[in-house]
A and B are shown apart, each in its own frame.
Chain A
Amino acid sequence: MSNSTNRVVITGLGIYSTIGKNLSDVKDSLFNGKSGIVLDAERKLWGFQSGLTGKIDRPQLKGLLDRRARVSMPEQAEYAYMATVQALQHAKMDPEFLDKNEVGVIYGNDSSTVPVINSIDIIREKKDTLLVGSGAVFQAMNSSVTMNLSVIFKLKGVNFTLSGACASGSHSIGMGYFLIKHGYQKSIVCGGAQEVNLFCVGSFDGLGAFAKRENEPTKASRPFDKTRDGLVPSGGAATVILESYESAVKRGAPILAELIGYGFSSDGKHISVPDVDGPVRAIRMSLDVAGVSPENIDYINAHATSTPLGDQNEAKAIDQVFGNYRPLVSSTKSMTGHEMWMAGASEIIYSIIMMQNSFVAPNINFTEPDEVTEKLNIASKTTSKNIDIFLSNSFGFGGTNSSLIVKKIK
């Protein structure tokens, strides 16, 4: 390991989301401000305060994967598989490449609810643990996604799951960045995956944190808007392949963008109420690591989840760092809902799509700011914009903060 550092580039993207299952469909949704949110009537039967959720279908994997792989995968690993197939194809990493090179995997995930429930229900009923089946233990673990991806794609590098609440996907990319930058790995499959089912968000709904606009589901997620009343849970998976610039050039890989900064912090305050100082420090660190100033940022993809206090505190943090420069800001959660463990990774993909196509996706449902969010320059409509450098924020429960900065490669 030398003392010099490597440039880190992004060579593959894959998305399986509520606004599209491939980059092209997602681009259309972002450009047209299309929402992926619906009312799930079943949640009301279970006593949920809000029945709103992102809508996503389970992929059909019979025929694509053998039985052993399929029975070991929980819902969110299926999404991660679909996203990773796309990303690896995009990056031109075929099975022969994966066999001959050590490619790592660091993926964000922070729950695996349904397999645990299924196993315990069977044990309670049958009083026999064998009857939960051979896949249960692998499905039930937080690290199920990386476990499965590394086996399916025969990955031989670093291999672990990163749990950091709603910043999981972002931190996974950040950790991948550090490992490649400092020469510990040449390429890493990073990303975030999130199960979408009522069981995984029942206790979250119980906090009263979810938006209640059930008569107009597509209008319920309204980050920064004066009448926002909570978040809408959502999910899917997003894969971002990181690689050293040298390795990418050497093998003629497509270079989509450069990851130039990662900043992190912890609030050290409240388990659920987000702070201002923590996010400020994460943003400032990312700018410092990237070697850029606030005025160099063309677009901020905000974390903003449509909660009254969270959006306000992020607005204060952005205002504190960027002041009069007022870069364009939007939260794609207005369309997707809160993709939680997936969000940090998917929002990098959404922002790269914007950067490649010179537009800022709208923060839909933003009709009127409150006294704090009015400080921001929020794109309420699709806006033509040349984006050279963007910042993406992700903040999670327990005060975990992550900020990433990505630059266009010309």
Chain B
Amino acid sequence: MTKEEIVKIINDFLVDEFEMNESQLVPEALLKEDLSIESLDFVDIAVVIEKKFGFKVKGEDMMNVRTLGDLHDYIYNYLNTNK
């Protein structure tokens, strides 16, 4: 899967499910502070990741995911190191 495809899937989910604006979804956007994603929401993001990308998110790996770009990179890197 390409990086662009991952970005589209995640961003579409955020627009659709979380009713966010496309304009908010820049790589530098901080998930908590800018996009108001709270701890309960991370559970649902993990559910989407399992459904769309086929792997279970590990809690400790998500510790370093602070921005939207970090999230895209995390998924991309996981898929490419775990082929």
Contact assessment for B17 and A133 in the assembled complex, using a CB-CB cutoff below 8 Å: no
Q: In the complex, A66 Cα to B36 Cα: how many Å?
A: 12
Contact assessment for B19 and A133 in the assembled complex, using a CB-CB cutoff below 8 Å: no
Q: Mark A124-142, 1 if CB is under 8 A from B, else 0.
A: 0010101101110000000
Q: Across the interface, which residues of B come within 8 angstroms of A62, CB to CB?
A: 19
By beta carbon, the residue of chain A nearest B19 is A67
Q: In the complex, A66 Cα to B57 Cα: how many Å?
A: 25
Interface of B is mostly: helix
Contact assessment for B46 and A130 in the assembled complex, using a CB-CB cutoff below 8 Å: yes
Contact assessment for A134 and B41 in the assembled complex, using a CB-CB cutoff below 8 Å: yes
Q: Mark B19-62, 1 if CB is under 8 A from A, else 0.
A: 10000000000000000001011011011001000001100000
Q: A127 CB to closest chain B CB, in angstroms?
A: 10
Number of CB contacts from chain A to chain B under 8 A: 29
Counting CB contacts under 8 A, is A270 at the interface?
no
Contact assessment for B40 and A130 in the assembled complex, using a CB-CB cutoff below 8 Å: no
Contact assessment for B56 and A128 in the assembled complex, using a CB-CB cutoff below 8 Å: yes
Which residue of the partner chain, among A131, A134, A135, contacts B50 with CB atoms under 8 Å? A131
By beta carbon, the residue of chain A nearest B45 is A134
Contact assessment for A130 and B17 in the assembled complex, using a CB-CB cutoff below 8 Å: no
Q: In the complex, A5 Cα to B50 Cα: how many Å?
A: 58
Q: Across the interface, which residues of A come within 8 angstroms of B56, CB to CB?
A: 128, 130-131
Q: Across the interface, which residues of B come within 8 angstroms of A131, CB to CB?
A: 46-47, 50, 56
Q: Across the interface, which residues of A come within 8 angstroms of B47, CB to CB?
A: 130-131, 133
Q: Mark A96-139, 1 if CB is under 8 A from B, else 0.
A: 00000000000000000000000000000010101101110000
Q: In the complex, A135 Cα to B46 Cα: how many Å?
A: 13
Chain A interface residue bracket vs B: 10 to 19
Q: B31 CB to closest chain A CB, in angstroms?
A: 15
Q: Across the interface, which residues of B come within 8 angstroms of A67, CB to CB?
A: 17-19
Counting CB contacts under 8 A, is A250 at the interface?
no
By beta carbon, the residue of chain A nearest B41 is A134
Which residue of the partner chain, among B18, B19, B40, B57, contacts A134 with CB atoms under 8 Å? B40
Contact A68-B40, Cβ < 8 Å, known A130-B56, A131-B47: yes
Q: In the complex, A265 Cα to B17 Cα: how many Å?
A: 47
Q: In the complex, A135 Cα to B41 Cα: how many Å?
A: 9
Contact assessment for A133 and B43 in the assembled complex, using a CB-CB cutoff below 8 Å: yes
Contact assessment for B50 and A133 in the assembled complex, using a CB-CB cutoff below 8 Å: no
Q: A181 CB to closest chain B CB, in angstroms?
A: 39
Q: Across the interface, which residues of A come within 8 angstroms of B50, CB to CB?
A: 126, 128, 131
By beta carbon, the residue of chain B nearest A67 is B18
Q: A356 CB to closest chain B CB, in angstroms?
A: 40
Which residue of the partner chain, among A66, A126, A128, A133, contacts B44 with CB atoms under 8 Å? A133
Q: In the complex, A66 Cα to B20 Cα: how many Å?
A: 11
Q: In the complex, A133 Cα to B50 Cα: how many Å?
A: 11
Counting CB contacts under 8 A, is A273 at the interface?
no
By beta carbon, the residue of chain B nearest A68 is B40
Counting CB contacts under 8 A, is A71 at the interface?
yes
Question: Which residue numbers of B lie inside 8 Å of A, CB to CB?
Answer: 17-19, 38, 40-41, 43-44, 46-47, 50, 56-57
Sample 7 A-B pairs with CB under 8 A, ordered by A number: A66-B19, A68-B38, A126-B50, A130-B43, A130-B46, A131-B46, A134-B40
- With A133-B44, A133-B47 given, name 17 new contacts (CB 8 A): A62-B19, A66-B19, A67-B17, A67-B18, A68-B40, A68-B41, A71-B44, A126-B50, A128-B50, A130-B57, A131-B47, A131-B50, A131-B56, A134-B40, A134-B43, A134-B44, A135-B44
